[in-house]
């Protein structure tokens, strides 16, 4: 699978949200990454259902919704109705992860599980076949613009090995501090979805930045 790019709307200009949505629509990005923070699971609050509905109304690409919230089961259906294509919940926020993943799929969405930087890949041993996506957090969740944690490379290798032969269509997503310096190495380590927020929207030309991330060819020098 060629790698996908999911610009994080968290770093967009909320006063010009429609402009930034159109920018993503017209770029080579594949998905919209939509971060939901509740101020409890993470020490920050982002935005809620009306904003997700507005994004969905204007977006021409799938909405990849990352729930950084406690007890996400309460809101799965509301996010689906707001326009989510993929819903990712945190391993650390779920008591019955298998049930939650099942509920997301039964609604017709793809289902992802996110891991905080301290949470080992090995904990996915008994659920790797059931998820569509694993989101490896490469910063502690809650804020954009943080420094990339290098141990992520090791986690991507471990995840790729865990999924091999058991879930070969798995989306392996990396989120936090992604930029043009580490993107090639991340794809080589196993990531096939790159989330980028600040690197895109703080750049002089966000469209060009998205397209540069997409046009990387990490395997071009391999026979």
* Count, residues in the chain: 223
CA 170 to CA 191: how far, in whole Å?
A: 10
The burial class, CB within 10 Å (0-12 / 13-18 / 19+), for 57 is exposed
Q: Is 83 annotated as a binding residue?
A: no
Could you confirm whether 35 is annotated as catalytic? yes
Q: Is 112 annotated as a binding residue?
A: no
Q: Is 96 annotated as a binding residue?
A: no
* Catalytic pick among 20, 30, 35, 64: 35
- Residue whose CB is nearest to ligand 5RP in the complex, by number: 197
**CA–centroid distance for 45 within its chain:** 17
Q: Does 195 bind ligand 5RP (CB under 6 A)?
A: yes
Of the candidate residues 62, 72, 112, 177, the single one contacting ligand 5RP (CB under 6 A): 177
Of the candidate residues 59, 67, 97, 178, the single one contacting ligand 5RP (CB under 6 A): 178
Using DSSP's 3-state secondary structure scheme, residue 216 falls into: coil
Contact assessment for residue 112 and residue 88, using Cβ atoms and an 8 Å cutoff: yes
Contact assessment for residue 57 and residue 88, using Cβ atoms and an 8 Å cutoff: no
Q: Does 196 bind ligand 5RP (CB under 6 A)?
A: yes
Of the candidate residues 35, 64, 132, 173, the single one contacting ligand 5RP (CB under 6 A): 35
Catalytic residues: 35, 175
Residues that bind ligand 5RP (CB under 6 A): 8, 10-11, 33, 35, 66, 68, 139, 141-146, 175-178, 195-199
């Amino acid at each position: 699978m060629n790698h996908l790019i999911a610009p994080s709307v968290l770093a967009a200009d909320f006063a010009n949200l429609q402009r930034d949505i159109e920018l993503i629509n017209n770029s080579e990005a594949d998905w919209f990454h939509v971060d939901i923070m509740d101020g409890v699971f993470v020490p920050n609050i982002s935005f809620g259902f009306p904003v997700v509905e507005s994004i969905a109304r204007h977006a021409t690409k799938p909405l990849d919704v990352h729930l950084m919230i406690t007890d996400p089961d309460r809101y799965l259906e509301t996010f689906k109705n707001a326009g989510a294509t993929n819903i990712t919940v945190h391993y650390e926020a779920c008591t019955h992860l298998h049930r939650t993943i099942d509920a997301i799929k039964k609604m017709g969405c793809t289902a992802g599980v996110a891991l905080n930087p301290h949470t080992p890949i090995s904990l996915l041993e008994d659920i790797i076949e059931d998820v569509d996506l694993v989101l490896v957090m490469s910063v502690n969740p809650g804020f954009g613009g943080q420094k990339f944690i290098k141990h992520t490379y090791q986690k991507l290798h471990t995840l790729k090995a865990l999924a091999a032969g058991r879930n070969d269509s798995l989306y392996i997503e990396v989120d936090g501090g992604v930029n043009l310096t580490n993107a090639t190495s991340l794809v080589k380590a196993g990531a096939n979805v790159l989330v980028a927020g600040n690197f895109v929207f703080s750049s002089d030309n966000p469209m060009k930045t998205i397209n540069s991330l997409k046009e990387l060819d990490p395997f071009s020098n391999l026979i």
